[in-house]
């Protein structure tokens, strides 16, 4: 005969008794439950009937404890038995109830012998469960390794992405500062131009006003003289006849000496057209003396980490230390290279590079698709057309390189690179003032190219600025400035 489970539950925790105790009022509780109730209420009362317990330490209810322990053991055995049945059920086929003994290699699932003879799996290759476990574990281990590699790769990308965010912020700060600095220099030029023009206007204003004041003073003196002559002549007209005749000769001579005709005042106004005529164009033309145009601008996002570029992106040198740039796909990673910003795909272009004391450089062009993350020779077959200076020798980087015999008294400190894309020629000249041809590449370019620079020297290579020419074209009643 078994008791209902409810009779074996503690009224406080509503679970099967653990170390039950019996109070004097015949109610039973878990020892810990009644202890907590007494600590909370501050009095030793039965949690059910509120009758005061006669003992500070209640007596253990041995019979109830043994019965509860028996129920707990029975529950654990029942649970273990259920688990065994479930496990055994999992080892049997759901369709036929037979024990699973084979593994279908086509459907990737365990099957029984009946399944193997059925239409579903009749012609499928199978293996034993032991072999399948080894194969599946191996495949899953390989997948796990692949996933781990992907996870490691993603962690690196995640870290690099955060570093790239910081780099972008630093790029923005540096670019913003350079923009402000260049505008400050332009503002200074404009302010100086404005001051000079206002000063010129002020000088002309003072000069014209001073001249007019002198003229006004001169006219005032003449007016005073005329007024005196007028009064004298009027008095003579009112004199006696004999007196008028006696004084006529002197009066006539006095009146003939007076200025006749209107006073002319030409050129007295400010020459406004001189100050305002084509003012914006004149200012812009004068600004050209303070503005430099560089035909090639270096792309810092392609520069090798050991290269240092100038703030205006017109010079580079090798530092030997990485400045912490991100590993972006556009960047050269294997050698100290950098390319220009604008791709060239037609027309004629040229730029002059000041090499100075640099004794280790390559200059020329490279195709836009040339690889940047592998070691590769700078040769035409790899998409590079370059002139090299190393070890005191000039070499055209053909296949194999062509050593150039250059008889020159003074060292070549400037190289002029001239590209005619449509004709397929790339020429190198001595840009030190002699304009002497050093070498010409002839090629049929199949894609756009970029100006290319390499150096392994701490002496900078600098792209020289060129002057800007302004020409006015006049056409049938209209003028166009280019």
Residue 208 has pLDDT above 50, yes or no: yes
Q: Which among 346, 287, 282 has a CA at the least distance from the CA of 468? A: 287
In the chain, DSSP finds a helix count (H) and a strand count (E) of 7, 21
Six token digits for residue 362: 């390559």
**How does residue 284 score in pLDDT terms, banded at 50, 70 and 90?**
confident
What average pLDDT does range 410-438 have in this prediction?
90
Work out the mean pLDDT of the chain and round it to a whole number: 86
pLDDT digits (tens, 9 = 90+) for 305-316: 999 999 999 999
Q: What is the C-alpha separation between 200 and 187, in angstroms, rounded? A: 20
Q: Which residues contact 385 (CB under 8 A, 6 or more apart)?
A: 364, 365, 366, 397, 426, 441, 443, 449
Q: Name the residue with higher pLDDT: 432 or 4.
A: 432
Do 397 and 378 touch, CB atoms closer than 8 A? yes
Q: What is the C-alpha separation between 133 and 137, in angstroms, rounded? A: 6
What average pLDDT does range 253-274 have in this prediction?
74
pLDDT at 332: 94
Six token digits for residue 347: 């027309």
Q: Which residues contact 16 (CB under 8 A, 6 or more apart)?
A: 5, 8, 9, 10, 68, 71, 72
Residue 482 has pLDDT above 50, yes or no: no
DSSP 259: -
Which residues on neighbouring strands pair with residue 206, listed in sequence order? none
Do 360 and 333 touch, CB atoms closer than 8 A? no
**How does residue 78 score in pLDDT terms, banded at 50, 70 and 90?**
confident
Residue 407 has pLDDT above 90, yes or no: no
Instruction: Please give the model's pTM, rounded to 2 decimal places.
Output: 0.61
Residue 140 has pLDDT above 60, yes or no: yes
**CATH number of the domain at 300-463, out of 2.60.120.920, 3.50.50.60, 3.40.50.920, 3.40.710.10?**
2.60.120.920
pLDDT at 379: 93
Six token digits for residue 292: 């430099």
Residue 22 has pLDDT above 60, yes or no: yes
pLDDT at 262: 55
3-state secondary structure of 82: helix
Q: Which among 345, 375, 341, 348 has a CA at the least distance from the CA of 453? A: 341
Do domains 5-90 and 300-463 share one topology? The answer is no
Six token digits for residue 376: 């590769």
Q: What is the C-alpha separation between 380 and 365, in angstroms, rounded? A: 10
**How does residue 50 score in pLDDT terms, banded at 50, 70 and 90?**
confident
Do 415 and 428 touch, CB atoms closer than 8 A? yes
Residue 478 has pLDDT above 70, yes or no: no
What average pLDDT does range 438-457 have in this prediction?
95
DSSP 140: H
pLDDT at 353: 97
Domain borders along the chain are 5-90, 132-258+272-287, 300-463
Six token digits for residue 105: 């290699």
For the chain, give the percent of residues with pLDDT over 70. Answer: 91
What average pLDDT does range 40-68 have in this prediction?
83
pLDDT digits (tens, 9 = 90+) for 172-198: 999 999 999 989 988 998 999 999 999
Residue 1 has pLDDT above 50, yes or no: no
pLDDT at 113: 83
Do 93 and 115 touch, CB atoms closer than 8 A? yes
Q: What is the C-alpha separation between 253 and 182, in angstroms, rounded? A: 75
DSSP 87-130: HHHHTB-TTT-PBP-EEETTTTEEE-HHHHHSTTTTTS-EEEHH
Residue 54 has pLDDT above 90, yes or no: no
**How does residue 87 score in pLDDT terms, banded at 50, 70 and 90?**
low
**How does residue 123 score in pLDDT terms, banded at 50, 70 and 90?**
confident
For domain 5-90, give the fold.
Herpes Virus-1 (3.30.40)
Q: Which residues contact 227 (CB under 8 A, 6 or more apart)?
A: none
Which range is most confident: 161-165, 239-243, 271-275, 350-354?
350-354
User: Per mean pLDDT, which range of 2-11, 248-257, 335-344, 379-388 is the poorest?
Assistant: 2-11
pLDDT at 477: 47
Six token digits for residue 452: 């290319």
User: Per mean pLDDT, which range of 325-329, 381-385, 430-434, 451-455 is the poorest?
Assistant: 430-434
DSSP 464: P
pLDDT at 421: 96
Which residues on neighbouring strands pair with residue 28, listed in sequence order? 22
What average pLDDT does range 231-252 have in this prediction?
84
């Amino acid at each position: 005969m078994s008791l209902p489970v409810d009779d074996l539950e503690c009224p406080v925790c509503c679970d099967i008794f653990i170390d039950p105790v019996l109070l004097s009022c015949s109610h039973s509780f878990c020892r810990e439950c009644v202890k907590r109730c007494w600590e909370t209420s501050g009095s030793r009362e039965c949690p059910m009937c509120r009758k005061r317990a006669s003992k500070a330490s209640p007596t253990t209810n041995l019979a109830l404890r043994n019965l509860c322990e028996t129920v707990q053991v029975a529950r654990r055995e029942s649970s273990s038995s259920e688990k065994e049945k479930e496990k055994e059920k999992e080892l049997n086929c759901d369709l036929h109830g037979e024990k699973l003994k084979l593994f279908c290699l086509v459907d990737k699932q365990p099957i029984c012998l009946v399944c193997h003879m059925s239409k579903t799996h009749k012609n499928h290759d199978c293996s034993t469960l032991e072999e399948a476990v080894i194969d599946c574990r191996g495949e899953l281990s390989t997948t796990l390794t692949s996933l781990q590699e992907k996870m490691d790769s993603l962690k690196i990308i995640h870290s690099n992405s955060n570093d790239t965010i910081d780099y972008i912020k630093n790029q923005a700060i540096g670019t913003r500062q350079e923009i402000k600095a260049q505008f400050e220099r332009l503002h200074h030029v404009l302010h100086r131009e404005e001051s000079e023009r206002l000063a010129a206007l002020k000088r002309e204003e003072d000069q014209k006003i001073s001249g007019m004041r002198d003229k006004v003073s001169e006219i005032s003196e003449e007016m005073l003289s005329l007024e005196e002559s007028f009064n004298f002549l009027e008095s003579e007209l009112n004199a006696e006849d004999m007196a008028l005749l006696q004084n006529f000769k002197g009066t006539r001579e006095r009146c003939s000496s007076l200025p006749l005709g209107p006073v002319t005042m030409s050129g007295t106004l400010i020459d406004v057209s001189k100050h305002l005529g084509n003012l914006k164009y004149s200012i812009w033309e004068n600004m050209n003396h303070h503005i430099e145009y560089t035909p090639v601008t270096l792309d810092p996002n392609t520069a090798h980490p050991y290269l240092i570029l100038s703030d205006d992106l017109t010079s580079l040198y090798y530092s030997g230390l990485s400045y912490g740039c991100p590993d972006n796909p556009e960047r050269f990673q294997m050698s100290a290279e950098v390319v220009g910003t604008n791709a060239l795909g037609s027309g004629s272009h040229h730029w002059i590079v000041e090499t100075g004391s640099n004794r280790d450089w390559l200059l020329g062009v490279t195709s836009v698709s040339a690889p940047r993350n592998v070691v590769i020779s700078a040769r035409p077959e790899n998409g590079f057309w370059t002139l090299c200076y190393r070890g005191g020798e000039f070499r055209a980087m053909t296949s194999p390189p062509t050593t150039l015999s250059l008889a020159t008294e003074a060292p070549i400190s400037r190289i002029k690179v001239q590209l005619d894309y449509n004709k397929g020629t790339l020429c190198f000249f001595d840009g030190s003032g002699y304009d002497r041809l050093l070498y010409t590449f002839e090629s049929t370019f199949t894609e756009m190219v970029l100006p290319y620079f390499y150096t392994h020297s701490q002496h900078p290579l600098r792209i020289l600025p060129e002057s800007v020419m302004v020409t006015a074209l006049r056409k049938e009643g209209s003028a166009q400035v280019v």
